Amino acid sequence: MASAVANPRPASSGIKRLFERFPFLPALMILAVLLALNGLYQPRSVSFIGMTGLVKTYLALIMLAIAQTYVVFAGDIDLSAGAIVSLVNVVIVVLMEQWGGSGLSVMAALGVGLAVGLACGIVNGIVVAALRLQAIVATFATSIFFTGLALYVLPVAGTPAPAAFWRTYGGRFFEIPFVLYAVVVLAMVIYVLARTRLATQLLAIGDDSQAAFQSGLPVTAIRIRGYALCGIFAALAAFCITGDTASGDPLVGGKMTLFSVAAVVLGGSALSGGFGTVVGSLIGALIIGLINSLVFFVGTPSEWQNLVQGLAILVALMAGVLVGRRARA
């Protein structure tokens, strides 16, 4: 009655609703712009083969960005994600080598790799959620710990992965590259995970963990599950990077950690938690990949590449914020 007359608010336009429903739209627009620029400077880069190459190189970062997203949902962060990638990478490479590199031993090693990722995630979850240490510092500490383990498993980089493994990752089945199958499976997994109770609960905790606790949610257990999921996806990222580099390197993932955080933010998720999408993080990781390749295609001198890369990521972040704000205003 009275309240219906009361609050004259502007009718929300279709565009606004669209942006609210799909918060990763700004990221998608940036992605389109970057694709166009890449095509402009190197037409072959946007061909089927070029895109396959891009996905093959950046599937690891995509996986890690997805891993990061689930902990960010709950307002946490995982600075050990890259270290988990390193650890799983060296564990599977060493196991594959010791077990002979046959198809079966590769599968077994991958199983162990997943278990290692899961275990690392659970350790993070216990440290952060059950022991209540600050996520940013606690996972920084576990990252050093995991890197230490990786160095123990394989002190020097260079042990090659068996051919059966990386040929599969880089190969084709029925004329379609393996990584595209991987992307399709990944899309289905993301779709399924987005509909789980866990995803909703993680987001609710990110919104207001005290409210979630008072609502009767098992907050600690849910946050640990978020970290566990992160560990599993970090292990998948390690599989991708092993397939791409075809070797073991105890420090391979370290640099990826903050890139994964950047991808999550580029994708429109809030680092404070409670708001975001996994698809956005996937797009964010692709944006970072496209920026890196664009910097290369434009012909930036090697000593300037980092500087330009950094600037480009800043610009992409700003563009995302501006586009999102304009659309929601």
Note whether 25 binds other proteins by CB under 8 A. Answer: no
Note whether 4 binds other proteins by CB under 8 A. Answer: yes
Measuring CA to CA, which residue among 237, 212, 47 is closest to residue 129?
Answer: 212
Footprint of other proteins on residues 182-241 (CB under 8 A)? 192, 195-198, 200-201, 203-204, 206-208, 210-218
Q: CB nearer to other proteins: give 185 or 314.
A: 185
**Nearest approach, Cβ of 268 to other proteins (angstroms)?**
12
Q: How far apart are CA 257 and CA 277, in angstroms?
A: 19
Measuring CA to CA, which residue among 284, 290, 294, 282 is closest to residue 262?
Answer: 284
Q: CB nearer to other proteins: give 138 or 204.
A: 204
Residue identified by tokens 């502007």 is 10
Note whether 275 binds other proteins by CB under 8 A. Answer: yes
> Under rule CB under 8 A, how many of the chain's residues touch other proteins?
33
**Nearest approach, Cβ of 10 to other proteins (angstroms)?**
8
Q: CB nearer to other proteins: give 56 or 223.
A: 223
Note whether 6 binds other proteins by CB under 8 A. Answer: yes
Token digits of residue 286? 């692709």
Rounded to 10 deg, the angle between the 81-98 and 219-245 helix axes is 50
CA distance to 2, 22, 23, 265, 292, per residue, from 26 (Å): 38, 9, 7, 12, 19
Listed ranges 5-13, 150-158, 228-236, 258-266: which one lies at the site for other proteins (CB under 8 A): 5-13
Q: CB nearer to other proteins: give 97 or 207.
A: 207
Measuring CA to CA, which residue among 114, 117, 153, 112 is closest to residue 249?
Answer: 153
Q: How far apart are CA 21 and CA 28, in angstroms?
A: 14
Note whether 97 binds other proteins by CB under 8 A. Answer: no
Q: CB nearer to other proteins: give 73 or 239.
A: 73
**Nearest approach, Cβ of 195 to other proteins (angstroms)?**
5
Note whether 271 binds other proteins by CB under 8 A. Answer: no
CB 157 within 8 A of CB 260: no
Measuring CA to CA, which residue among 102, 108, 98, 80 is closest to residue 234?
Answer: 80
Note whether 14 binds other proteins by CB under 8 A. Answer: no
Q: How far apart are CA 109 and CA 328, in angstroms?
A: 48
Among 9, 14, 174, 299, binds other proteins (CB under 8 A): 9
DSSP lists the bridge partners of residue 173 as 176
Residues within the interface to other proteins (CB under 8 A)? 1-9, 20, 192, 195-198, 200-201, 203-204, 206-208, 210-218, 274-275
